[in-house]
Amino acid sequence: MIITNVRMVLDDEVVFGSLEVTDGVISGIGEGYSHQPGAIDGEGGWLLPGLIELHTDNLDKCFTPRPGVNWPDAAAMRNHDGLLISNGITTVMDALAVGDVRDGGHRLDNLRRMTDAVASSQRAGVNRADHYLHLRCELPHKDTFTLFEQLADLPQVKLASLMDHSPGQRQFASREKYYQYYKGKYHLDDEQMAAFEAEQIAGSQRWSQPNRYAIAELCRKKGIVMASHDDATVAHVNESQQLGVDIAEFPTTGAAAQAAHQAGMRVLMGAPNIICGGSHSGNVAAHQLATAGLLDILSSDYYPASLLDAAFMVAEDDSNLLDLPAAVALVSRHPAEVLHMNDRGSLQEGKRADLLLVQRQAPRTQLMQVWRQGRRVY
């Protein structure tokens, strides 16, 4: 297969020309038009490496589109996979909550169904994207370590994150923001909300640190890449570094992001934060970290369509020094590197032919075609 008449976004430059694929692998990159019969005309569009997503919560939404509604497993997985590939995501870490935010909640009801759906659909070869698991460990919950231990040997598990969403720290240093977010999310009255906050604080005080250290030790033993979550202080980052954490997910302050960067951790921020111009929790904005040279990876988080748009927006933002190759690395090469997936993430000879053909007329980004290992999947 040859794709010609495209602006190829390589690691350090954009080259106009043609790209050749043989047996699912990029076998040639050259300047100028190809006149080979059957060459695909890219009509001057951008040719990018497939996007690599480290933290999407979308699978859970497809299994439970409404409270009390459980969608059939195969259909939910197909819908999730289709939504990702139609937004250019060719490799994904499906993020699943391990441990609930509150006792009596229902987040764990579908956990096994979802892990089984990812594993079985991958074995059957029916997915268009390449799916793996990211276990989101809710540290304040009493059952989190036991559940994690049961799942950690699944071959699909590549990433684990250590989370504590209790009020007054990390993501919700502002108690007012915490109150607004969870009161609305769970439809609680004032009395119920007060009880909920007290429950979260007590769970954090009892379980967060024992779970954090036990899960980190198991990850180190099994070679699972670790991410911290919502680091707010230098002390948080220092603790993460001591535990062997590789990724600082969604640091909430510039100081935490700076410390993580200096410690050699990859700083991951939400692509929706770029699209919306800031954090809905009132924390540091992703574009501010890009301007400061502290942004390494973008994740679509709760909105898969955000990833591709955010990469172009970062490249077009004059307040930072990131050109298009550097911005595309945030959603392809850098996440591949941190997961040690050295076979993908760049347009280079010998890499997997996971490719996107994109037309861009700002603010509109139009995904024209997607290939995974040289096979067209969109």
pLDDT at 57: 92
Domain carrying residue 119: 51-343
pLDDT at 168: 67
What is the residue-wise DSSP string for 309-335?
Answer: HHHHHHHH-TTS---HHHHHHTTTHHH
Do 160 and 93 share a structural domain? yes
- Whether pLDDT at 229 is above 60: yes
- Whether pLDDT at 109 is above 80: no
CATH of the domain at 117: 3.20.20.140
Percent of the chain topping pLDDT 90: 78
Cα separation, 40 vs 37, in Å, equals: 9
pLDDT at 53: 98
Number of structural domains found in the chain: 2
Cα separation, 169 vs 233, in Å, equals: 10
- Whether pLDDT at 103 is above 60: no
- Whether pLDDT at 106 is above 60: no
Q: Which residues pair with 299 in a beta bridge?
A: 270
Do 239 and 143 share a structural domain? yes
Do 124 and 97 share a structural domain? yes
Average per-residue pLDDT for the chain: 92
Is the CA virtual torsion 141, 145, 146, 149 positive or negative? positive
Q: Tell me which of 161-165, 288-292, 351-355 is least confident.
A: 161-165
Do 370 and 284 share a structural domain? no
Do 287 and 356 share a structural domain? no
Whole-model pTM?
0.91
Do 71 and 40 share a structural domain? no
pLDDT at 174: 66
Give per-residue pLDDT as tens, 190-212. Answer: 787 777 777 777 778 888 899 99
Start-to-end CA span in the chain (Å)? 16
Do 336 and 273 share a structural domain? yes
Do 30 and 166 share a structural domain? no
pLDDT at 104: 54
